[in-house]
Homo-oligomer: A and B are copies of this chain.
């Protein structure tokens, strides 16, 4: 049997393994370049078995992007034991590290938002909403309420951070410390435009 050396995993564990492998492979290639054949080979399973877990290539791509989004949200989760500004600094540090380490995967998430695939766009929108809510749920910290203008500014600030970090990762002309420090200061600055 050619499967002699293959590890037996229960379905849930196998699915987890495939998603983790998919996200890891995305660190060095775009979503379009993520081949189902290569993944099956690296996982030590047949292409047929892979499609037992994911109906088709598109389904697999969506699941990988969703996993990347979940990873991002988990990694940047605010440490509520910290005061607001150090809490924001730590989340931004982790965000910069995540995007640096998973540049391609992150780009696939962002690009998905603009692609013709509605399911990918929905994953992106939900992720941005979750990131934005972390700010709007804590408006009181900045002496503000959670109104429509505040929500627009919080959403805009998230887009600014994304653009700045992507530009920095592809051409880092300043230190990570300066980047994180400046970005931390922009949130209260942007929200203060509301006062």
Kindly identify, within residues 158 to 195 of chain A, every residue whose CB is under 8 Å from any CB belonging to chain B: 158-164, 167-168, 173-174, 178-179, 182-183, 185-186, 189-190, 192-194
Closest Cβ of chain B to A66, distance in Å, is: 18
In the assembled complex, A114 has its CB within 8 A of some CB on chain B = yes
22 residue pairs bridging A and B, Cβ less than 8 Å apart: A32-B116, A111-B115, A114-B114, A114-B115, A149-B174, A149-B179, A149-B182, A152-B174, A152-B182, A155-B163, A155-B164, A155-B167, A156-B160, A156-B163, A156-B167, A156-B186, A157-B160, A159-B160, A186-B190, A189-B189, A189-B192, A190-B190
Q: Lowest 10 A-B CB distances belong to which pairs?
A: A114-B114, A159-B163, A148-B173, A185-B193, A156-B160, A156-B164, A160-B160, A189-B189, A111-B114, A186-B193
Binding site for B on A (CB under 8 A): 32, 110-111, 113-116, 148-149, 152-153, 155-164, 167-168, 173-174, 178-179, 182-183, 185-186, 189-190, 192-194
